[in-house]
Chain A
Amino acid sequence: MIDSTMDTNVSIMIAGVGGQGILLAGDVLARIALHSDLDVKKSEVRGLSRRFGSVWCQVHMGRRIESPIGGLDSIDYLLGFETGEALRYLPYLKDGGTALVNRLEIGKSVDDLAPRHSELFGDTDCIWLDGSDEVANAGCSRNLNVFMLGAFSQLLHFGHSAWQEVLSELGDRRSRMANLRMFEMGTAAFDDANRRPVKPK
């Protein structure tokens, strides 16, 4: 958990597949920093990759941010919306950083990574979530991004009302309701996952 004074800057990288709502999730993070009077810079992949390609987005927040982008071994938190993409961008996570990973593999049905997950993530402090299953069961397949934010919110110091305020700025009334529900579900899922041993061996 980052300290509430934000004396040190925080960098977040979201990785996934085009169409998973990655850029929107980055928007939410950037906005909540802005609302909290923090400096913030957000970078992302635009253009072709968004067509089901590998997509990432970085948000840097703190008292004063210089570069909008962090390179290898520099990111504090990696949010993986898809397991393979989380693995791809793992080299950006710094030593002692934390990864939140959604258990989902897109387009890998033949060469399944799943049995090797814990091995592939090595010593990384990794919190596993069944986000895709949970949002699908709740009939909100499109809201995985907000679910993941809900989980991640437990690692940031922003208050619940700050999140609600930002989330309520997005989408129409119907999607706002779904967003809020999925956010809460993500929060609960994080607490659940965190109670279990971190690395299932």
Chain B
Amino acid sequence: MQRPLLLSGNQAVARGAYESGVRFATGYPGTPSTEVVESLSTYANVHATWSVNEKVAMESALGAALAGARSIVAMKHVGLNVAADPLFSASYTGIRAGFVIVVGDDPSANSSQNEQDSRHYARAAKLPFLEPADSQEAKDFVIAAFALSERFDTPVIIRLTTRVCHSQCRVSLGSEIHPHNDQGPFVPDFDKYVLLPRQAVGRHIAIEKRQEELAAYSDDTDLNREEFRDTSLGIITSGVCYSHVREAFPDASVFKLGQPYPLPQKRMSAFADKVDRVLVVEELDGFLESEIAAAGIAVDGKRWVPRVGELTPQRLRSSFDAGAPQPIETGDPSITPRAPRICAGCQYLGIYTVISKLNLTVCGDIGCYTLGAFSPWNGIDTVLCMGASISMAAGMEKVGRTNGDQNNVLAVIGDGTFLHSGVPALMDLVYNQGRTTVLILDNATTAMTGLQGHPGNGEGLQGGKTKQVDLEKLCEAIGIEWVEVVDPYDMDATESTLREAIAYPGPSVVISRAPCLLLEKRAPIRQAHVDAAACTGCGDCFSVGCIAVEKYQTNGSFVADINHDLCVGCGLCVQSCPEGAIAPRLLTDDPDLVELSLS
């Protein structure tokens, strides 16, 4: 037998999809689910793409399923909000070939703007979901999900959490011979695929019946499993919480739900009858608890199981012992927090140094540039969700400006985010005669989630250049009459262009254009050097916020010092020094000096 492999939950999902004969995989990047599609793109016979956003991804994957090919779509929890519209109606159309939706929730909001619990979507859209506890189950459950999808003519949600997505565990692979399970080309079915009002009501009736059948299946399937040990305590749980329960309560009987929704009511009642006391252990909301309670089973759970933040066996146990939720586990709070930093030499350093001088209200957006909200720039006043910078700024400006006043609101948005959901907001701005200035940060990639391609850089996921969106032409076509491109490494020019844009009596767009430094890990050809004798210790260079500019103590006072392991020679600190004490120096030897890379 082949030795098991170490796979992350995301990689295992991809493998499961491959073993299921998936032909089309798409999604939108976002931690913790990014690697599902990335990993699928490496398999032969799988057509894998990044979509422009989650709604588009969901719709194209459904289209592929209706056209007869098994399809999978993956996104992070907040992505499912973007895709909620097609989600609810895909429940009505049903599928032809299997259709699986992977969603990654992020308890503790490790890399997210909220801590939402996406299980509610399954109930709201009347869809079954499966929840694996580890990588092996992630692979196996995807295979089960495709079978379930085709058997009941329904999209099936695989609900993951960060801990399952990113933990690596042993996985025994299945057969590589992918079954020929294509359903043949699309066959029209008016009453099913054309959701007009009359059709919708007809489908709703079918969906309610499907719900009953799925509940009966839940009572049948071995995805759900009772484990009897000591019967004084019975714990109902699912997903990664199962493994925490096994450590925190090794002797307890456990009902492990692989298909938590719809609930296996009969078996659950039987389980409850056999144990003295029933606990429900789940992260985030009391989703299972309310479902189980609604089925008439007396349970105890969120009274003491924390709702906020990730669980661990220790936190679970201490909450149980205390009879009250214990705080989220973090390191020693007395150690100064170490926030993530903008890379040395990134264009965003120059941009935020300029923005912080302009005294504007800044509506920010989501990406690496969100880090501009931290000191020394404190350059962002709002961050909500992808695409919201332009629309929120437009709203602020509408009520904040009395006639004739200068616009004082700036929207800052990355190129990826602009294409994801900023474009409709820009149209709205023009249509509704707003005057906001929009700063698009074009670094030619989706940097924060790991350098994925997008329509703005025209890099296809499985290789190959595709068409590139021309941002200037796009803005002009929308009706923006003032569009300028700036070089963010020239802070004076950037500042005067931004000031002009803000003064312009109409909506304006400034595009800051410089490729992300991580795209080409090039060794620098020059680096900054401080003339310690000329440095007065004024600290202006620190206002650029570059991690390569450090303080060097000299008895009582300090001077600036450049960390040459980090400096890429961008020259921003050079421009910031009022004394001319920092100068660029060419590097002639050791081209290997610096390698930019994420850990």
Residues of A within 8 A of B (CB): 15, 17-24, 30-31, 34, 39-55, 65-74, 84-85, 87-92, 107-110, 141-142
Contact = CB atoms under 8 A, between A and B. Distances in A.
A173 B341 CA distance: 32
A109 B551 contact: yes
Given A20-B599, A48-B111, A72-B314, A54 B167 contact: no
Contact of B335 (A31, A39, A88): A88
Contacts of A39: 170
A46 B341 contact: no
A52 B448 CA distance: 13
B599 A67 contact: no
Given A66-B246, A67-B312, A53 B340 contact: yes
B32 A22 contact: no
B581 interface: no
Given A30-B6, A52-B341, A40 B329 contact: no
A7 to B, nearest CB: 16
B134 A41 contact: yes
14 contacts: A18-B599, A19-B599, A23-B599, A30-B168, A40-B169, A42-B6, A46-B31, A46-B110, A68-B134, A68-B167, A71-B313, A71-B314, A91-B331, A110-B558
A16 to B, nearest CB: 8
Contacts of A21: 599
Contacts of A34: 3-4, 6, 170
A46 B111 contact: yes
Contact of A109 (B4, B32, B340, B553): B553
A22 B599 contact: yes
A105 B566 CA distance: 16
A47 B110 contact: yes
B565 A41 contact: no
A31 B343 contact: no
B244 interface: yes
Contacts of A51: 340-343, 368, 371, 598
A84 B167 CA distance: 25
A164 B407 CA distance: 64
Given A30-B168, A66-B243, A18 B337 contact: no
Given A51-B368, A110-B553, A68 B332 contact: no
B166 interface: yes
Interface string B306-318: 0000101111000
Q: Which 7 A-B pairs have the closest CB atoms?
A: A47-B111, A71-B312, A71-B314, A88-B331, A53-B340, A68-B167, A47-B31
Given A67-B313, A92-B331, 14 more contacts: A18-B598, A18-B599, A19-B599, A23-B599, A39-B170, A46-B32, A47-B111, A49-B110, A51-B371, A69-B167, A70-B312, A71-B329, A87-B332, A108-B336
Nearest to B558: A110
Interface in B144-167: 162-163, 166-167
A52 B340 contact: yes
Question: From DSSP, what is the main secondary structure of chain A's interface residues?
Answer: mixed
A19 B597 contact: yes
A145 B391 CA distance: 45
A48 B4 CA distance: 30
A12 B168 CA distance: 14
B322 interface: no
Nearest to A106: B338
Contacts of A22: 599
B531 interface: no
Given A44-B166, A109-B551, A53 B341 contact: yes
Contacts of B595: 142
B533 interface: no
B483 interface: no
Contacts of B312: 67, 69-72, 74
B246 A48 contact: no
B552 interface: yes
B599 A55 contact: yes
B338 A54 contact: yes
A43 B167 contact: yes
B372 to A, nearest CB: 13
A67 B340 contact: no
Contacts of A108: 336
Contacts of B565: 141
For B6, B168, B342, B547, which residue has the most chain A Cβ atoms within 10 angstroms? B168
Contacts of B247: 66-67
B339 interface: yes
B278 interface: no
A78 to B, nearest CB: 11
Nearest to B550: A109
Contacts of B341: 51-53
Nearest to A49: B340
B6 A69 contact: no
Interface in B168-225: 168-170
Contacts of B244: 66-67
B355 interface: no
B86 to A, nearest CB: 26
B386 interface: no
Contacts of B597: 19
Interface in B232-246: 240, 243-244, 246
